[in-house]
């Protein structure tokens, strides 16, 4: 629990330290304050609390993407996909990491897997309230495909 975690959140985390959802909330709070390192630490604790859950890994993946840490992103996105094969955002993260690491054939295969999965665009899921973490960012998908087609 750090200074960037609000007092109510800090108290809640002391009462329920193994609640993965609360750890993800703490990570969001830290991200809002600009504390990426603290957010990644909170997400690590969320993964420890719920080792078979993909959402914390997807959140961590977005931070790693923003930092350009492609090797770690590849690993984290791969873990998320192994837990939730229809996790569209994790597939995009993995494909982008592969592309940035000079593996375009692997990136294409990952995007082919996304197309064959049950993942849907986030814009569709926000209307239905379904599990958002299985969705994907349509703009990012278009950008990756365009980059691979060059």
Model pLDDT for residues 53-89, shown as the tens digit of each residue: 888 888 888 889 988 999 999 999 999 999 999 899 9
Residue 47: per-residue pLDDT:
77
CB 10 within 8 A of CB 1: yes
Mean pLDDT in each 10-residue stretch from start to end of the chain (150 residues)? 48 48 71 79 78 84 90 96 93 97 97 90 72 82 95
pTM over 0.75? The answer is yes
Contacts by residues 2-9 (CB-CB < 8 Å, ≥ 24 positions apart): 2/30, 2/35, 2/38, 4/29, 4/30, 4/33, 4/34, 4/35, 4/38, 5/29, 5/30, 5/38
């Amino acid at each position: 629990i750090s200074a960037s975690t609000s007092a109510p959140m800090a108290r809640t985390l002391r009462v329920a330290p193994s609640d993965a959802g609360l750890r993800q909330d703490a990570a969001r709070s830290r991200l809002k304050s600009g504390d990426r390192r603290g957010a990644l630490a909170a997400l690590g604790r969320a993964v420890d609390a719920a080792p078979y859950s993909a959402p914390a890994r997807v959140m961590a993946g977005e931070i790693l993407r923003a930092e350009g840490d492609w090797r770690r992103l590849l690993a984290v996105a791969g873990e998320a996909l192994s837990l939730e094969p229809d996790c569209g955002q994790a597939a995009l993260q993995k494909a982008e990491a592969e592309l940035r690491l000079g593996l375009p054939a692997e990136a294409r295969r990952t995007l082919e897997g996304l197309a064959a999965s049950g993942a849907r665009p986030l814009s569709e899921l926000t209307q239905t309230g379904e599990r958002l973490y299985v969705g994907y960012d349509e703009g990012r998908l278009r950008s990756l495909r365009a980059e691979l087609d060059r």
